[in-house]
């Protein structure tokens, strides 16, 4: 497995692959890898002969009071994991490499179509940071496919949209959420949870699943204009009682992230139930998709 730390070196690697006519699948990460990341690598391996993984904790997607400095950085363990997973190349740029002019007045990519609501409300800087760094990485690695987790659903829509709007000809593939046996979505931030918090955290998925079950078993109720709002309210009360501080719990159209209006819900409708909530100081996000046959 090759590890490239400079843009120049990974570009040379990419040019050499071009000459072999091989396809490249790319998995961008912030490291501290777990089975969720590895599932993206496995999906990438089914799509292309070569898999490139990047590891970069992107400063511009963290707010001033967020955990950029504390974000777990586990280089040796990550590289060992990727090597045993059969990855061909890792792009591991230094902090400055991706922001040669610094991060004060950096040129950015924004996606107003999806950078609103949900995580945007409490993290207004976040998606511009993500869209910018992903655009840089896609330009540098020039993959045929790039794989992103459904876990960060709003991020996935932002990236799909920027590729469409900026004519970046890379297929964006989504991969399902990997969970622990308890149902907790795997996340590098789960490391921040105490033992007692780890027992409560799976209740997020339980609450999402309950709302999904309610919609699936009584799709007729979607005609009631208050139904989704009442499910959201019910879930928020439950999560608050479990000890979470709710950032949002919303049921939205999964293609547009708009609030579904009951009268316009067609026969077939795909919804996303998404939540972000804090347990102690740790912010957790999760979601489930619901395919409704009304």
What value, to the nearest 5°, has the Cα angle with vertex 185 and ends 53 and 63?
A: 70
Q: Is 37 a catalytic residue?
A: yes
Segment lying near ligand AMP (by CB under 6 A), choices 34-42, 43-51, 233-241, 261-269: 34-42
- Residue among 78, 90, 136, 152 that touches ligand AMP (CB under 6 A): 152
Segment lying near ligand AMP (by CB under 6 A), choices 75-83, 171-179, 218-226, 259-267: 171-179
SS3 215: helix
Q: Strand 245-253 vs strand 268-279: parallel, antiparallel, or unpaired?
A: antiparallel
SS3 43: helix
Rg for the chain (alpha carbons), in Å?
Answer: 20
Residues 168, 9: contact at Cβ < 8 Å? no
Binding flag, residue 145, ligand AMP (CB under 6 A): no
SS3 112: coil
Binding flag, residue 148, ligand AMP (CB under 6 A): yes
* Cα(11)–Cα(4) distance, integer angstroms: 9
Binding flag, residue 60, ligand AMP (CB under 6 A): no
Binding flag, residue 149, ligand AMP (CB under 6 A): yes
Of 34, 37, 125, 269, the catalytic one is: 37
Distance separating the N- and C-terminal Cα atoms of the chain: 50
Decide: residue 106, CB within 10 A, 0-12 exposed, 13-18 middle, 19+ buried: middle
x/- string (CB under 6 A) for ligand AMP, residues 93-132?
A: ----------------------------------------
x/- string (CB under 6 A) for ligand AMP, residues 4-33?
A: -------------------------xx---
Binding flag, residue 188, ligand AMP (CB under 6 A): yes
Residues 56, 30: contact at Cβ < 8 Å? yes
Please state the closest distance from residue 180 (CB atom) to ligand AMP, in A.
9
Chain residues binding ligand AMP by CB under 6 A are 29-30, 36-37, 39-40, 148-149, 151-152, 175, 177-178, 185-188
Catalytic positions are 37
């Amino acid at each position: 497995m090759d590890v490239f730390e400079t843009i120049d070196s990974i570009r040379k690697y990419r040019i050499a692959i071009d000459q072999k006519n091989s396809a490249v699948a790319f998995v961008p990460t912030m490291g501290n890898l777990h089975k969720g990341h590895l599932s993206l690598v496995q999906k990438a391996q089914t799509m292309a002969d070569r898999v490139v993984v990047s590891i970069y904790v992107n400063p511009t997607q963290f707010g001033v009071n967020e955990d950029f400095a504390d974000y777990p950085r586990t280089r040796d363990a990550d590289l060992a994991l990727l090597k045993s997973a059969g990855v061909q190349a890792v792009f591991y740029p230094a902090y400055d490499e991706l922001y040669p002019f610094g991060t004060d007045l950096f040129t950015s990519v924004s996606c107003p179509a999806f950078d609103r609501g949900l995580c945007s409300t409490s993290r207004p800087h976040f998606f511009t940071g993500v869209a910018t760094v992903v655009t840089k990485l896609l330009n540098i690695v020039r993959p045929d496919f790039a794989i992103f987790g459904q876990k960060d659903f709003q991020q996935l829509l932002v990236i799909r949209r920027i590729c469409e709007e900026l004519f970046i000809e890379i297929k964006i593939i989504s991969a399902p959420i990997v969970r622990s046996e308890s149902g907790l979505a795997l996340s590098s931030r789960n490391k921040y949870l105490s033992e007692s918090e780890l027992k409560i955290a799976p209740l997020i998925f339980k609450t999402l699943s309950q709302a999904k079950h309610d919609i699936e078993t009584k799709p007729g109720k979607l005609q009631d204009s208050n139904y989704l709002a009442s499910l959201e309210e019910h879930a928020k009360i439950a999560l608050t009682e479990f000890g979470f501080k709710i950032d949002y719990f919303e049921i939205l159209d999964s293609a547009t992230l708009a609030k579904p209006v009951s009268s316009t819900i067609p026969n077939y409708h795909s919804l996303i139930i998404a939540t972000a909530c804090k347990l102690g100081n740790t912010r957790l996000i999760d979601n489930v998709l619901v395919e409704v046959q009304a």
